[in-house]
Structure 1
Amino acid sequence: MPQQKNFITMPAQHQNKQPGIESLMSPLPQFEDPNYKGSEKLKGKNVLITGGDSGIGRAVSIAFAKEGANIAIAYLDEEEDANETKQRVEKEGVKCVLLPGDLSNEQHCKDIVEETARQLGSLNILVNNVAQQYPQQGLEYITAEQLEKTFRINIFSYFHVTKAALSHLKKGDVIINTASIVAYEGNETLIDYSATKGAIVAFTRSLSQSVVQKGIRVNGVAPGPIWTPLIPSSFDEKKVSEFGSNVPMQRPGQPYELAPAYVYLASEDSSYVTGQMIHVNGGVIVNG
């Protein structure tokens, strides 16, 4: 892809704490497509979404609710965002359970799976989506503490939650993992984050082979630049203002624009698909 000049796409802004607060963003992310009409593709399914309180996770929660699914949302510590998502999900006439806590903790990862099954009655669809990122100017600036924190949230939680979920999942059930375009392209300031996203791609492909004979499908979505709370809480004001300008569509994507990919992978529409990544990235050509 030819190198494109960066230009202003968003107002300059920054938040000092991750994973960021959606209500402080300007403009607010668009997490719902008003023209999206559900058709009961997930009716009666019970879903656990990590990082489901805001951004991509909120958009997926709402789209799944419109398709008839009950939702359990695991999240770090942003109660305002989580409560807003819960209210919106419940407007669709389905159940929504909030599960706050530290997703870097293995026991908590086990607990949220058991609590989902207890409160909703079962677990049919797992969406591993939680992530954090801490840009640095080079590898020499990434501390051992940051490295471990990034891996514990971004990939260890996927292992721990999925491992606990496998005893509940049965034939026809689904696991969806959120990767990233940086798993394929890399990013000079997100070396550790990119490594975790590459690990998620390999995890998805390997796990799909491990459980295919059980009738469980495992796929992933690799977003490009998406306007979520992670962006202003990760980058400085200048980078935020230019966010998404370097892809062919020359803008960041909105969270709701990813949701249909997750609905497709969660439903019977993708019954012959496993071990794959769907790329929703504004036109960047990715082979893999």
Structure 2
Amino acid sequence: MFSLKNKRAVITGAGSGLGLATAKRFKEAGAAVIMGDISEDTRNLAEEMNCLFVKTDVSREEDVKNLMEKAEEHFGKLDIVVNNAGIICGEELLEEADRKTYEALFNVNVMGVVYGIKYGQKHMKDGGVILNTASNSANGDYAGYGPYIMSKISVVGITKVAAIELAPRGIRVNCICPNTIDTPMAYAEGCETELQVMGIQTPLGRMCKAEEAAALYHFLASDDCKYITGEDIYIDGGLKAGPARQMIEAILASLK
């Protein structure tokens, strides 16, 4: 396991799914973990894991500023910041989506990352790491999710700019583009059919598990990964590479 011993890591959206899996993985690897999340329920999780909890709404600049300040107060200068908190919208065509939808997604998914970079780097050691959660939908080929895709494509762009700007300090900035994560929350949205289709169209035939994605964050956060920056890295079971064989076979069978 890539060691994170004596590293200090802030993770937003740490109360469930990918954020929680990453917090657990970092903790197991030896890091001191600060869990930022909008839900008070995360406080109990943080106590059980011996982590610091700071209630954080990433759409509020003052909340993210406070998160980074509290993290440094308790543990000293940061080594790792994971800007993971995000929201998704329901399926809407571009002609149907209203301004409220765009603003909600932009405030959390885009500005949450901007604030995380802005204040994270201020409280970070030179040579630190910033990881931003984008999405495989940043590839831009999902009809009906235009507002969400807009927000995640923005994360990719912000990541590349930040990587160049922070390179003189040796701070690496990358973004991870996962497929839909297979968690209870995904099924709670009432999208079982869509999720089954997603599994069929993925070459590996299933969705990504939170622990699998957390392993990638772990590697990118480690000192074994010092020459990777400015990248958008996909973890999608081969979906970006092309359609799954089983999906093509299913389509052909339906035409007979």
State the TM-score, normalizing by the size of structure 2: 0.88
For 1:144 and 1:242, how far apart are their aligned partners in 2?
A: 29
* 1:42 aligned partner: 4
- Aligned pair partner of 1:77 in 9, 18, 39: 39
* 1:279 aligned partner: 234
For 1:82 and 1:116, how far apart are their aligned partners in 2?
A: 15
Gap runs ≥5 in structure 2:
243-256
CA offsets 1:179-234 (integer angstroms, 9 cap, x no match) = 11100143212211111110111111111011101111111111012113552354
Query: Does residue 52 of the first structure (1) align with residue 4 of the second (2)?
Result: no
For 2:221 and 2:129, how far apart are their aligned partners in 1?
A: 6
Name the aligned partner's letter for residue 191 of structure 1. Answer: G
- Choose 97-106 or 192-201, whichever is displaced more: 97-106
- Aligned pair partner of 1:214 in 160, 169, 181: 169
SS in 2 for 1:140: coil
Offset of residue 250 of structure 1: 1.4
CA offsets 1:3-58 (integer angstroms, 9 cap, x no match) = xxxxxxxxxxxxxxxxxxxxxxxxxxxxxxxxxxx45x111111110101111111
* 1:163 aligned partner: 118
Offset of residue 142 of structure 1: 1.6
Offset of residue 239 of structure 1: 2.4
Aligned residues, how many?
242
Q: Which has the higher contact order (CA 8 A, sep 6+)?
A: 1
Map 1:1-288 onto structure 2 (within 5 A): 38=1, 41-77=3-39, 79=41, 83-84=44-45, 86-87=47-48, 89-90=49-50, 96-286=51-241
For 2:239 and 2:195, how far apart are their aligned partners in 1?
A: 19
Gap runs ≥5 in structure 1:
1-37, 91-95
Say if 2:65 and 2:115, in contact at 8 Å, map to a contact too: yes
Say if 1:261 and 1:278, in contact at 8 Å, map to a contact too: no
Offset of residue 276 of structure 1: 1.1
For 2:205 and 2:236, how far apart are their aligned partners in 1?
A: 11
For 1:60 and 1:145, how far apart are their aligned partners in 2?
A: 31
Percent identity, please.
Answer: 30
* 2:245 aligned partner: none
